[in-house]
Copies of this chain bind each other. A is one copy, B any other.
Amino acid sequence: MAVRRNTWQREAVREALERSEGFISAQALHTELHRTGSPIGLATVYRALADLSTEGEADSLQSPEGEAIYRSCATMDHHHHLICRQCGTTAEIEATEVEAWASRVAAEHGFTEARHVVDIFGLCADCTAAAARA
């Protein structure tokens, strides 16, 4: 009997995911939850995220580094991120040009309720300089 039960853990994951802006990895979310006092288990975080993803409450995708990263699907924020994969700093970027493109492409394929994921991973100026020095 697949009766889904409500537990504080599941709710904690959902809230933490909504509270975090942009994408976050399962590991990071687990760390964040522990930091705020929740003794939630890592396995539970993974399960909750997988459930949220199948139910459509969260989007999941693979970062270029091979981690699975999640984002709350409810927040239709239209700002995107430029993420340094070395030091982790992020810069918010405008993506107005892409908005139109995304909805047009979705419409061309008969898709509705399209939400897009547009993020760029790279090396920031500092880390580029550091890498050049080494």
Footprint of B on A, CB under 8 Å? 56, 59, 61-64, 66, 68, 73, 82, 84-86, 91, 93, 95, 97-98, 101-102, 105-106, 109-125, 128
Contacts and interface: CB of A to CB of B under 8 A. Distances in A.
B112 A122 contact: yes
A113 to B, nearest CB: 5
A121 B115 contact: yes
Contact of A91 (B91, B109, B118, B121): B109
Contacts of A110: 124-125, 128
A61 B117 contact: yes
Contacts of A115: 64, 120-122
A114 B109 contact: no
Interface centre among A63, A86, A113 (most CB of B within 10 A): A113
9 contacts: A56-B86, A61-B119, A84-B111, A98-B118, A106-B122, A109-B125, A115-B120, A115-B121, A117-B121
